[in-house]
Amino acid sequence: MKRLNTQLQEDDCPLELILLIRTLLAACKEISFRVSQGALAGVLGSTLSDNVQGERQKKLDVISNQILKDILSESGYVKAVSSEEEDKVIGCTNDGKYLISFDPLDGSSNTDINSLIGTIFSVMHAPQWMEPDDPSAFLQPGTQQVAAGYVLYGPSTMLAMTTGRGTHLYTLDKTHGGFLLTRERVQVPRETQEFAINTSNQRHWEPCMQKYMADLLAGDQGPRGKNYNMRWVAAMVGDIHRVLCRGGIFAYPWDNREPEKAGKLRLMYEANPMAFLMEQAGGGASTGKMRILEVMPEDIHQRVPVILGSADEVEACLEYFKGN
C-alpha cells in the first residue's frame, strides 16, 4: 500500500503543502487518541460554555480545537487559521503560505454514545499582502481550495482528502502511525436509492424540498419509481463518508425556523471542503440554487443550504428547485 507522502507526490503537491498536511494529520492523530480514551480520560460530556455558533461545547470540542490551533500555529506553514469554534481568525505568521479552516470535531454530540465523529478541514493560499489576523483573507470561494478533507474517528481512523487530483481514502495504520492509501480515486455511483436527511424537520422546509422528500418516501408507487432507504448518522463526516463509499444523497436544506440564516451548515468549515471532495469523486454539490464551490463568502461563519451526493440524484433534487 502507498503511504500518504507517495500519493501526494504523485499528485504533484508542493513540498510545503505536503509538510502542512503532515502537520495537520499529526494533530488529528492526537485527537484520535483522545477520542479513543473516552470516559477513561474524563473527556466525555459538555462544558458550561457555548461556542460562537451558540452551541453548547463538548469537552472534546475544546480539546480538539486547542490541539489543532497549537500544532498548526507553530508549524510555520500557516499564515492564519479559522475555526468553527472561534469568533475570530487566529493569526500565525506573516511567512505562512496557507490558510486553514476547520471544524475540529464534527458531530461532537455523538461523543457520549461512542458514535461517528470527525475533523473537517480546508486549505487555501494566503494572500501575502494581508495581515495574518485579517478575516477577509478567508473570504475566497471554494474553487480556490488547494486541499480539503476529513479525518473520521470510527472503528478505524480514516482520512478522505483531495488536492484537486481526485479523492483518495487512507486508513491510519496504528502499528507505525502513518496513513496508508486504501482506496484511490473514489468514484461516487451516479445513481442511488439512499438518502441522508433529517426528515423530522420536513415541515419547516421550502415547499420544493418537501415535495422532493415526499416523492422519495412514496417509493416505487410514486413518481420516482423506486424505493429509497434512509440513513442518518447525525454527523456530517459519517454521512458523507457513506456517500463517498457507496453513493447516496445528503441534504441539510434551508428551513423557516430561523429564516434569517441560509442554513445550518457552515460554508467554510463544512460545505466547501465536502463539496470539493464530492466533486472530485464525480458527485454533485449544490445549495439548491447554485454550485457550493462558487458561493462568494461574506463572513467566516456564513451558513448555506447543502445538497451533496450521487450526481444523478442531486440533479433530480435540483429539478424541484427550478422556478422556485
Which residues sit in the known binding site? 84, 103, 105-109, 198, 264, 270
Nearest by Cα to 39 from 62, 64, 59, 68: 59
Determine the residue type at 26: A
How far is it, in rounded angstroms, from Cα 181 to Cα 71?
Answer: 24
Q: Are 139 and 297 in contact (CB under 8 A)?
A: yes
Q: Are 244 and 158 in contact (CB under 8 A)?
A: no
Q: Which residues are annotated as a binding site for Mg(2+)?
A: 84, 103, 105-106, 270
Please state the separation of Cα 134 from the chain's center in Å.
23
Backbone angles phi, psi at 284, to 5 degrees: -115, 155
Nearest by Cα to 36 from 146, 156, 203: 156
Q: Which residues are annotated as a binding site for substrate?
A: 106-109, 198, 264
Residue 277: exposed, middle, or buried by beta-carbon count in 10 A (0-12, 13-18, 19+)? buried
Going by C-beta distance under 8 Å and a sequence separation of 6 or more, which residues neighbour residue 266? 53, 84, 103, 301, 302, 303, 304
Nearest by Cα to 107 from 120, 98, 93: 120
